[in-house]
Amino acid sequence: MRQALRHHLFWPVAALVVLVVANTIAKPSFLQVSVIDGHLFGAPIDILRAAAPLLLIALGMTLVIATRGIDLSVGAVVAVSGAVALEYISASPDPGSPVTVLVAVAIALGLSLLLGLWNGFLVTVLGIQPIIATLILMTAGRGVAMLITGGFITTVTSEPYKGLNSGFFLGLPSAVWIAVGLFVIVAVTVRRTALGMLLEATGINPAASRLAGVRSRTLTWTVYAAAGLFAGLAGILVSADTMAADANNAGIFIELDAILAVVIGGTALSGGKFNLSGTFAGVLVIATLERTVTVLGISPHVTPLFMALVVVTVTLLQSPRVRERFAVAALRRRPVSDVARGGAAQVSDDGAGAPASPGTEAPGPDIEQAPVPDAEPSAAPDDEKEVTR
């Protein structure tokens, strides 16, 4: 039980389960998935489809946050990307042809990548704080999107473009395939290669990791470019959903939702250790929450209130102070684990010292934020800190 309690996925998954149970009580058919024309239908599928853009953005955001950064501009990139794609399609002579759609998507993604590179340039080359560097594009980006659409909401009819979001492939909406597929590919790439570890090293201590031979600057730059690219893809999904490019409202506040998803998933905004599975759970929590509010018949405007409650609960439960309480209470119940403390004393070093060794997995500083499965020794350092205070 204690191991489960300390696992980084515990609180986001618990929140998700609570939401699903609440939904099922309010509407017993909530979890029902039916097959119509070989396609899957039902609330869970809807939630997944609605969550697809957020999932893409949260994916990029997790990687950016891992390097101690943040990307506020993704919402604006969503708007720009959708605007460019739809403007191109509506201006082309044949909006329904797959070639047109392909070119439109390519242009939109290329531009998004460029915007991501711009953010990365500001952060890595000019050394501007990420919040401010991306705030610039966040402010100017929507202006640019409006410039592209001429201040109107561009609407088009193009079957292939619409299919990018609501088409079906093997029973699931294509948006789900795109988002989940990319998420899995990136997660596997990051975790099966050294890339993820290098990102964490960069986030934990940029200077030390650079001295250790990690190309922090290139990595950071790449991550911002990727975040831009993913946001562009999200923009295509969003605009394909409504078939309209709304420069003012497309992807509005999606950067905040994405940051919340990352935080709910247990990745600290201070960078370093990140977990993509947590982000996935966080995205599902937010998407389900939005759905719940509609199911319960509450005005969607009130959603933020529930969002705030979930965020406050989850972040407080994840805060070091509350975790210490848990650890201390557990130890009081089981004084036997004093034995385990002897073995753990070596790694009880506080976060500051460990980053010097980014080449190793650096077990020391990670224990607090993302407890490894063997929670037994990790409980001890927490307690030790309590004593020394």
Partner 1 sequence: MTTTLSERATSGWVSALRPDRRYLPVLGTLAVLALMLVIGGTRYDNFLTPIVYSNLFINNAHLIALAVGMTFVILTGGIDLSVGSVLALSTVIIASLLQAGWPVAVVLPVAVLTGSLIGLAHGVMIQVFGVQPFVATLAGMFFARGLCFVIAPESIPIDDPAFTALAGWDSWMGHFRTTAAVVIALAVVVIGFVVLHYTRFGRTVYAIGGGEQSAMLMGLAVSRTKVLAYVVSGTCAALGGLLFAMGNRSGYALNGVAMELDAIAAVVIGGTLLTGGTGFVLGSLLGVLTLGTIQTVIQFEGNLSSWWTKIVIGVLLLIFVVLQRALSLRKT
- Residues near partner 1, by CB under 8 A: 70, 122, 126-129, 131-133, 135-144, 146-147, 151, 247, 256, 259-260, 263, 268-270, 299, 301-309, 311-312, 315-316, 319-322
The smaller minimum CB distance to partner 1, of residues 32 and 139, is found at 139
The smaller minimum CB distance to partner 1, of residues 218 and 319, is found at 319
From the CB of 305, what's the least distance to partner 1, in Å?
Answer: 3
The smaller minimum CB distance to partner 1, of residues 91 and 309, is found at 309
The smaller minimum CB distance to partner 1, of residues 97 and 315, is found at 315
Residue written as token pair 């501007």: 128
From the CB of 42, what's the least distance to partner 1, in Å?
Answer: 28
The smaller minimum CB distance to partner 1, of residues 236 and 259, is found at 259
From the CB of 103, what's the least distance to partner 1, in Å?
Answer: 26
From the CB of 110, what's the least distance to partner 1, in Å?
Answer: 21
Q: Are 193 and 60 in contact (CB under 8 A)?
A: no
The smaller minimum CB distance to partner 1, of residues 299 and 388, is found at 299
From the CB of 142, what's the least distance to partner 1, in Å?
Answer: 6
From the CB of 115, what's the least distance to partner 1, in Å?
Answer: 12
Query: SS3 for the chain, per residue?
Result: CHHHHHCCCHHHHHHHHHHHHHHHHHCHHHHCEEEECCEEEEHHHHHHHHHHHHHHHHHHHHHHHHCCCCCCCHHHHHHHHHHHHHHHHHHCCCCCCHHHHHHHHHHHHHHHHHHHHHHHHHHHHCCCCHHHHHHHHHHHHHHHHHHHHCCCCEECCCHHHHHHHHCEECCEEHHHHHHHHHHHHHHHHHHHCCHHHHHHHHHHCHHHHHHCCCCHHHHHHHHHHHHHHHHHHHHHHHHHHHCEECCCCCCCCHHHHHHHHHHHCCCCCCCCCCCHHHHHHHHHHHHHHHHHHHHCCCCHHHHHHHHHHHHHHHHHHHCHHHHHHHHHHHHHHCHHHHHHHHHHHHHHCCCCCHHHCCCCCCHHHHHHHCCCCCHHHHHHHHHHHHHHC
The smaller minimum CB distance to partner 1, of residues 194 and 312, is found at 312
From the CB of 36, what's the least distance to partner 1, in Å?
Answer: 35
The smaller minimum CB distance to partner 1, of residues 150 and 373, is found at 150
The smaller minimum CB distance to partner 1, of residues 181 and 320, is found at 320
The span from the CA of 56 to the CA of 53, in Å, is 5
The span from the CA of 173 to the CA of 167, in Å, is 6
From the CB of 365, what's the least distance to partner 1, in Å?
Answer: 15
Task: List the structure tokens of 166.
Answer: 């609501």
From the CB of 96, what's the least distance to partner 1, in Å?
Answer: 30
The span from the CA of 90 to the CA of 158, in Å, is 9
Residue written as token pair 């609330």: 43
Return the biggest CA–CA distance within the chain: 77
- Count Cα atoms within 13 angstroms, Cβ side, for 1: 3
The smaller minimum CB distance to partner 1, of residues 92 and 303, is found at 303
Its sign, for the CA torsion 352, 357, 362, 364, is negative
From the CB of 382, what's the least distance to partner 1, in Å?
Answer: 13
